[in-house]
Amino acid sequence: MTDAADDTRHPVQTVDHRGGKVPKAVTLAAYEVYCHVYGPQEALVTGWCRGGFSTGELIALLYARSFPKAEWWERVEQALKGMEHV
């Protein structure tokens, strides 16, 4: 996916609206799930779409990724249900 030496970071929306950054490898792993569940939207990882993923979305997408691909949609929904201020 990415080279370990690649220190590129992508933007993330934060609750305090200051914005954050996470390693490219993290956002690309989340984006793989996002594409499967919702369809491609490359601007989410580049930051040109609403400032990137939210912290809650990253949690849900990375959680889902630990399951078989056939379960990703269900697991994303499971993780997002009931989240607050993340």
Strand blocks (E) in 1-86: 9-13, 20-23, 53-54
Q: What is the pLDDT of residue 62?
A: 97
Which residues have CB under 8 Å from 59's CB, separation 6+? 79, 83, 86
For the chain, the domains span 9-80
- Which SS3 state, helix, strand or coil, does residue 9 take? strand
Distance CA 16, CA 31 (A): 23
Mean pLDDT of successive 10-residue stretches along the chain, which has 86 residues: 66 88 93 96 77 91 98 96 85
